[in-house]
Structure 1
Amino acid sequence: MDFIDDRIERYAFNHTQDEGPLLTQLKQETHEKLELPQMLTGRLEGRFLKLLVQLLGAKRVLEIGTFSGYSALSMAEGLPEDGRLFTCDVDPAAIEMSKKYFHRSEHGSKITLLEGDAMKSVEKVDGPLDMVFIDADKVNYLNYYEAVLPKVRSGGLIVVDNVLWSGRVLNPKDESDHAIDDFNRSVHADDRVEGVLLTVRDGVYCLRKK
């Protein structure tokens, strides 16, 4: 994330709505107890995801990659009371923490956590979906995308995180670098969607299904 000017990042953070005490506490505990805490969505992207859910009037959302639950709770805030969010993860430590915070949140009852292999979890979720957020292992981004696209309604949204990959997409070297670059090139050429790649944090691709 060091490819973004710290002063600009802080300015954007300070001018974005506060996420509230529960998510602030979740963020702190994530940094204290989980490996790779930089994977946390954080205020900027979390509030952005909530806003997208609200703008879509979404009622059914799927998330691939729960981590500690910050993004799931952010999106659940934007759902109506009868809305449902399905989120999946495979890491026991992350699942334990996310469950704890889902239980504590007034929005936790909207969330269903699916444990285990993400591709198998996706098969369990019926469409139509209003929105999908992909933020899991990078080498499977295209596989996740192809698996969820048929389940997304026309006019629905697929949001994909880390698509700038700390700038490494400019000079891909390892497997994850190439996977992200390949994903970006593929969806850019996909006439089933229309998209914009935003320079929000580590890059967010917003893809609207036609």
Structure 2
Amino acid sequence: MEGSDNSFLQSPDAIFAFLKEKNEYVNVHGKSLLKSDALYKYILETTAYPREHECLREIRLATEQHPLALMAGSPDEVQLLQMLLKVLNAKSAIEIGVFTGYSLLATALALPEDGKIIAIDPAREFYEIGLPSIKKAGMTHKIDFRESTALPVLDQLLSKGKNEGAFDFIFVDADKFNYINYHERAIKLVRIGGIIAYDNTLWSGAVAASPDEPLTQFDLICAEHAKKFNTAMAADKRVEVSQLSIADGVTLCRRVA
């Protein structure tokens, strides 16, 4: 859809409306590129759910009742991100796109007691769905929630020189149309050796869909943006890249320059 008109998706309300429609036929924890639903269920029930913190489970179950439940991170993906945080010995993180706080709580749990995470989302009402469970887990002291769109907050952070290269890990799961813009900020904020993780970069497999495959206009536009982003990351010499087929596609970028 080169040159397609994206104007109808420029407001959050329009995007939410499309996601609500999509959520009617895609279960929040069925977000997997695996062809076998039984295999994905096996992965969740064998390795993800048994290790899931009680308060994470509370947020997951509460989120499943939300009309935008599709926006939540999947348990197997979040489990991977927690391991990455621990391997990095991460103490400072940024999350762009919070929703109900499932991945945010997972990050907070993986950080040490003195760890900090800046969480950015314009919809505080969604964050408050998971906030009671975050409080129950005793993690609120690690979280600095910023009710805002992401770019102004990232630019504000960069305006203070001390924040350049100050973060170990950044997770991006917000509007897909701004991924390139987020990346140009994130690459300055994350330290050399740190990781930026981008969610939904395979967009339900739509990035490789055949021309005759029936897709909504929303999916076509998101897939177009995902393809442009993936191509840009493959060419970016400032990072090492790994494209994972977990969940809806996760791209890991390790800053090397």
- TM-score normalised by L of structure 1: 0.93
Alignment of 1:142 onto 2:173:
no
Superposed CA offset, 1:151-179 (max 9, x none): 11110101111111000111386322111
Residue 108 (structure 1) shift: 2.5
Are the counterparts in 2 of residues 188 and 195 from structure 1 also a CA contact under 8 Å? Answer: yes
Aligned residue for 2:38? 7
Aligned residue for 2:107? 75
Residue 97 (structure 1) shift: 1.6
Superposed CA offset, 1:79-109 (max 9, x none): 1111101111112421222333322222222
Residue 3 (structure 1) shift: 4.1
Where does 1:162-177 land on structure 2 (aligned, <5 Å)? 162-171=200-209, 174-177=220-223
Alignment of 1:152 onto 2:190:
yes
Residue 78 (structure 1) shift: 1.0
- Counterpart pick for 1:23 among 43, 50, 56: 56
Query: Could you say what secondary structure the match of 2:194 adopts?
Result: strand
Mapped partners of 2:33, 2:52: distance in 1: 24
Q: Aligned AA for 2:221?
A: E
Aligned residue for 2:234? 188
Mapped partners of 2:78, 2:87: distance in 1: 14
Mapped partners of 2:41, 2:156: distance in 1: 40
Aligned residue for 2:75? 43
Query: Could you say what secondary structure the match of 2:169 adopts?
Result: strand
| Structure 2 unaligned spans of 5+ | 1-30, 158-162, 212-216
CA distance change for structure 1 residues 178 and 108 in 2, over 3 Å: closer, same or farther? same
Q: Between the two proteins, what is the percent identity of the paired residues? A: 33
Residue 2 (structure 1) shift: 6.2
Query: Could you say what secondary structure the match of 1:112 adopts?
Result: strand
Superposed CA offset, 1:176-202 (max 9, x none): 211111000100111110111011111
Query: Could you say what secondary structure the match of 2:201 adopts?
Result: coil
Q: Aligned AA for 1:27?
A: R
CA RMSD of aligned residues (A): 1.6
Mapped partners of 2:156, 2:114: distance in 1: 19
- TM-score normalised by L of structure 2: 0.77
Are the counterparts in 2 of residues 62 and 133 from structure 1 also a CA contact under 8 Å? Answer: yes
Mapped partners of 1:92, 1:158: distance in 2: 23
Mapped partners of 1:167, 1:95: distance in 2: 28
Query: Could you say what secondary structure the match of 1:208 adopts?
Result: strand
Larger Rg: 2
Q: Aligned AA for 1:70?
A: Y
Query: Could you say what secondary structure the match of 1:185 adopts?
Result: helix
- Counterpart pick for 1:120 among 152, 155, 170: 152
Q: Aligned AA for 2:73?
A: T
Query: Could you say what secondary structure the match of 1:35 adopts?
Result: coil
| Structure 1 unaligned spans of 5+ | none
CA distance change for structure 1 residues 130 and 75 in 2, over 3 Å: closer, same or farther? same
Greater Cα shift, 105-114 or 8-17:
8-17
Query: Could you say what secondary structure the match of 1:16 adopts?
Result: helix
